[in-house]
Amino acid sequence: MFVLRMSRPDDVDALVQLGHKAGPGLTTLKPDPDAQGARLQRVQRTIAGSAELPEQGYLFVLEDTTSGKVVGVCGIEVAVGLDQAFWTYRMDTFVHASRELGLWTRMDKLHMSHGLTGYSELCTLFLDPDYRVNGNGSLLSKARFMFIGQFRERFAERICAEMRGYFDDNGESPFWKALGAHFYRIDFHEADRLVALGKKSFLAELMPRYPVYIDFLPQDARDCIGKVHKETEPARRLLEVEGLRLEQHVDIFEGGPVLEARIDDLRVMRDSGLCQVEIVAEAAADAPRQLVANGELADFRVILAAANVVDGVVHLTAEQARALQVKAGDRVRVMLQNPAK
């Protein structure tokens, strides 16, 4: 069985190993023990209530309960952009018209923006490729929404998610080559590394001062705007099912989509509910797959379980209850894995 749980300080080595597998473009999961250790300590301060709002964040890991191996990671930042600006490109459409000639054109532009300041952010989603089976990716992504539903007061009015942008077969970003490389004059991976280390001042110092006309970019770069990395396509679909959408913002480096939503409009706020646990010998053959979360903060846990819900009671097996560290009579949050049709 796999369980998503709150991260602990001793997860450093596991995060470093996942960072080696993640490759370029996932800024917050670099294989750097010091950076990952500092982040895990930040999570502990957030839980303890000693972290100021700009540094508050949560990190969760997906663990194989049989082997104890950590095979995935995901996170939530509480309020981005308060300490250092959260830069994106905002897409706008302008109409240029000539009354004398009777002509008009519609042009799309990119503006440097920090309009997402104060949003909560879904981040750092990565699942070991060897474990991308049996709904593990769905559990890893959607479990964060269960945490938000359980602790709604800890988050902002709106939420966003930066998706890893498109890279070609050579591991290069056409969007970066066409735009960012001309302004920042450093390699993509070096720019990515600096951002991962929190050294973001160069973004403001070297960014384009004026809007960028999308039509002036090469076709391969234009095709990247709002497009995700091939390994990120399933993650995007999962977030869209939960209520997030591409609105106006894309990543400044690769042009990947930034999905957005009001938290109160997310599916978890509408479709999840609290149920009392009843222990059963085995799950019913026709039991639907449910996300089930305990109500703990420091040891928050979520599993994907075949479980029936009857009159506010959820039927869990002893193994499922152990994974959640709950017992009969405890209250848990439950939501169908996928929306009811």
Model confidence at 207, pLDDT cuts 50, 70, 90, reads confident
pLDDT in tens, 160-184: 999 989 999 888 899 999 998 898 8
Nearest to 298 by CA among 39, 59, 38: 59
Model confidence at 10, pLDDT cuts 50, 70, 90, reads very high
Model confidence at 197, pLDDT cuts 50, 70, 90, reads low
Output the pTM of the full model. 0.92
Dihedral over Cα of 59, 36, 26, 57: its sign: positive
- How much is the average pLDDT of 222-234? 92
Annotated catalytic residue within 20, 111, 229, 249: 229
Distance CA 76, CA 73 (A): 11
What pLDDT is attached to residue 200?
63
Is 46:30 a contact under the CB 8 Å cutoff? no
What pLDDT is attached to residue 47?
98
Q: Is the pLDDT of residue 341 over 80?
A: no
What pLDDT is attached to residue 201?
65
Strand (E) or helix (H) holding 15: helix 12-22
pLDDT in tens, 46-58: 999 999 999 999 9
The dihedrals phi and psi of 311, each to the nearest 5 degrees, come to 50, 45
Please give the structure tokens belonging to residue 315.
Answer: 């039927």
Residue 229 a catalytic site member: yes
Percent of the chain residues topping a pLDDT of 70: 97
Identify which has the larger pLDDT, 85 or 189: 85
pLDDT in tens, 288-316: 999 999 999 999 999 999 999 999 999 99
